[in-house]
Amino acid sequence: MTNDDALSPVIGEMMMIVLALLLVSLFSLSLAGLLPSGRDSAIDITHNESADGIFLWHKGGDWVETSGLQVLIIQGKNTTTIRPSDIEAFSLVDDDGKTGSRTFDLGDHIRIDLTNVVLPDTFRDGNVIRLVNSRNVIFSGTANPR
C-alpha cells in the first residue's frame, strides 16, 4: 500500500503561488496604463530679430538641455534646422555672458547668426521661428526683422 498524501498539497501550493504571481503581474500592468506621463517643458521666451540674427531670450519657466534643442526657420514650404552642433550659427549665452552652457535657463539667450545659415529665401517678415526639443515645441513665433 502506498501513501500519496504529500503530493496533492505540494501541487496545490504551487498552483496558488503561480496564480498569485499571475494576478499581481496583471494588476501591475493595468495600473501602469493609469500613471501620468512625463510633463512637457514650460518656458516663457521672448524673441527679436535683425537681418543678420535671431535672439531667443529665456524669461522664466523650466530649464532644458542644450543638446536636444533645435531652431527651425520656416519659409513657406521650406524649413531650415539649426542645431547647437552648428557652432558657426548657433550660440547659447548664459546670464553671465559666457558661452558653452549645457542648459538653456533663466536669463540665457540663444543667438542664431543668419550670416552663417544657408536659407532658401531671404529672411523677412512672416517667417516662422520655432525652438523645439525632442519632446515638444518650446516656442513658436513670427519674424519681424528690423
pTM value is 0.69
Mean pLDDT computed over every residue of the chain: 86
Nearest to 116 by CA among 54, 48, 49: 54
C-alpha cell at 37: 506621463
- What's the confidence (pLDDT) of residue 4? 61
C-alpha cell at 27: 494588476
Do the Cβ atoms of 129 and 142 come closer than 8 Å? yes
Q: What is the pLDDT of residues 111-145, one digit of tens each?
A: 999 888 888 888 888 889 999 988 889 999 998 86
Q: What is the pLDDT of residues 7-36, one digit of tens each?
A: 677 788 899 999 999 999 999 888 877 877
Q: Give the list of residues 6+ apart from residue 140 with CB closer than 8 angstroms, or none.
A: 128, 129, 130, 131
Do the Cβ atoms of 145 and 126 come closer than 8 Å? no
